Amino acid sequence: MFNTKKKHFKVWMALFTAVFFTTVCFESVAQADYFAGGRKNNAAPYAYYHSSVSTYGYVGNYDVARSYWNANSKVNIKKTTSTSARPDIYYVGNTSVSGLLGQIIPYTSTGTQAAVGGYWDYTTVFIYDNQMRAQSTFTSSRVNYNAAHEVGHTLKMAHVTPPYNSVMVQGWYNIPSTLTSYDSGEINKKW
Amino acid sequence: MKSTYFLLSAMTASLLLVGCNGDNVDTGSNEINSKKISSSEVNVSQSSKNENSEVERVVTHGNFVEYETEAELFADAELVVIASTNEDFMDREHIVKYVPSSDEEEGLPKAIEDFYTKTSITVEQVLKQPASEKVADNKKISVIEPIALLEDGSKILSVENYQEISRGQQYIIYLKKNTNGEYGVINMTNGRFNLESTDQIVNLAEHGHDNDKAKHEKMKDTVKNRFAKEIAKAKK
C-alpha cells in the first residue's frame, strides 16, 4: 500500500516537472525577438534594388543596412541585379500613414502575402521618403537605422523592447557604429 | 499525502492554464470570436452587425514613431477627439496602392507600396486642436487608419497588429496630419482608445506582439484619467 502511494507520488512529481519545464520553454519561445519559420536562402537572401532606391538617392543607406547585418558571419545578404531567382526587393516609396517609416511584406512562392511565422519565398522592403523627411531630424544615420530595421525583418528579426541595444527597437534613431551584440545574438539564435 | 496530491494537481492545472493562455485573445463583454489560424493570421468575426464576415487578417511589420507614454502621444498629436463612426469596417474606403505598373517592365512581381482605410468619424468633443484650425463638435471628418481590405476581399492587411475603430462605439483618438494634409491615427492601436468595454486587442506572441493588450490597457488608463470629465460628459 505504501509502495503504491509512493509510485503515485513519483508519477505526480514527474508530471508536474514536465509541465513546469514545458511552460517555461513555451514562454521563452513566445518572447524571443525573432519570428518563427524559415525563408528562402535562410540568412543569405538576395537583395534587388528597385529603381526607386536610386531615384530617391538611398542606395548607400540600403548598402549600410546590409553591411550592418552581414557583420555576423551567418548572414550574407547579397546584392543582385537579376530578378530571376526571386530576390527580396528593396524599394523607396511614400505612405499616407503618419509616423510609418518603413515596412516589409513577406510573400509565398505563389505571390500571396505570407504568414510571418511561415515560410517566406521573398519579401518587399519599403522605406518611406515622405515620412522620414517629416521627422524633426533627417540625417543619413537615421535613414540607415530605418533601413537596417527593415532589412532585419527580412532576416526574421522581430521588434525589440528597450532597453536592449538593437536596431529592431521601433523608432527614428542613429544607427549603431557596428552590429550590436544583442542583434548578433538574436541572429545566432535564429540561424 | 492526499493534500500533497491536491497541491500538485492544482499547481499542474495552473501551469497548464498559464501555458495555454500565453498567446490569448482579449475578450470584453462583447466578445469577438477570434482564433489563431496560423502564426500570423487571425480569423476574426467582427462584433458589429455587418462586420461579421470572416476574412483572413495578415499583420505586416514595419518601423514607426512609437510613443511610450500618453504624455508624449498627447504632446505630438495635432488633434485629439472623442468620436465615433457609423460605418462598418467592410464598407469603408479601403485604399491599396501598388508600385506604378510601368515598373513591372523590370520583371518584378506586383508590389504593395501603401495601404490604409479612410474612416468617416463624427467628432463629439475636441480635446486638443491646432490654433490655426477649428474642428466643431458634430463635424464629420475622414481619418486614415493603417489597415485595409485587399480589393479582391481576400485579406485584411494590418500594420503592426492595428485594430480598426469599431462602428457605433466612442473612442478617444489621437490624430496628426500626414504629408498630404490628411488626419490619421498615430501610434497604431495605442492612438485610439475605446471608451466602451469592448476593445478588441489581440495578442500575437509570434509577431513580437505578446504584450499588446497589457500595454494598451495601461495607456488607456492614463487616457481615461486625463479626460475623466470629458468622458463623463460624452457618456451623457
Residue matched to cell numbers 530595421: A149
Pairing type for strands B183-185 and B93-98 reads unpaired
Closest C-alpha to B148, from B172, B184, B182: B184
pLDDT for the residue A104: 97
Chain A residues whose CB is inside 8 A of the B182 CB are: 96
pLDDT for the residue A55: 94
Q: Hey, is B34 helix, strand or coil?
A: strand
Cβ distance B156 to B177 under 8 Å? no
Chain A residues whose CB is inside 8 A of the B79 CB are: none
- Dist. CA A160–CA A168, nearest whole Å: 5
Neighbours of B124 (CB within 10 A): 17
Please indicate whether, in this complex, the C-beta atoms of B18 and A117 are within 8 angstroms of each other: no
**Tens of each residue's pLDDT in chain A, 191 residues:** 555 556 666 666 665 555 554 444 443 333 468 999 999 999 999 999 999 999 999 999 999 999 999 999 999 999 999 988 889 999 999 999 999 999 999 999 999 999 888 999 999 999 999 999 999 899 999 999 999 999 999 999 999 888 789 999 999 999 999 999 999 999 999 99
Pick among A13, A91, A116 to test the B interface (most B CBs inside 10 A): A116
In angstroms, the separation between the Cα of residue A74 and the nearest Cα of chain B is 23
Pick among A98, A109, A151 to test the B interface (most B CBs inside 10 A): A98
DSSP designation for B195: S
pLDDT for the residue B105: 60
In angstroms, the separation between the Cα of residue B204 and the nearest Cα of chain A is 9
Chain A residues whose CB is inside 8 A of the B5 CB are: 8-9, 12
Pick among B57, B61, B106, B192 to test the A interface (most A CBs inside 10 A): B61
Q: How many residues does chain B have?
A: 236
Please indicate whether, in this complex, the C-beta atoms of A95 and B109 are within 8 angstroms of each other: no
Please indicate whether, in this complex, the C-beta atoms of A89 and B111 are within 8 angstroms of each other: yes
ipTM of predicted assembly, 2 dp? 0.83
- Dist. CA B207–CA B61, nearest whole Å: 8
Please indicate whether, in this complex, the C-beta atoms of A95 and B113 are within 8 angstroms of each other: yes
pLDDT for the residue B17: 41
Q: What is the pLDDT of residues B138-184, one digit of tens each?
A: 899 999 999 999 999 999 999 988 999 999 999 999 999 999 999 99
In angstroms, the separation between the Cα of residue B80 and the nearest Cα of chain A is 15
* Closest by Cβ to A27, choosing from B22, B65, B187: B22
DSSP designation for B164: P
* Closest by Cβ to A30, choosing from B60, B180, B205: B205
Bond into A45 cis (ω within 30): no
Residue matched to cell numbers 537615421: A142
Q: What is the pTM of this model?
A: 0.81
Q: What is the pLDDT of residues B10-68, one digit of tens each?
A: 555 544 443 333 333 332 222 222 222 222 223 233 333 334 358 988 989 999 999 98
In angstroms, the separation between the Cα of residue A61 and the nearest Cα of chain B is 16
In degrees rounded to 5, what are phi and psi of residue A102? Answer: -170, 170
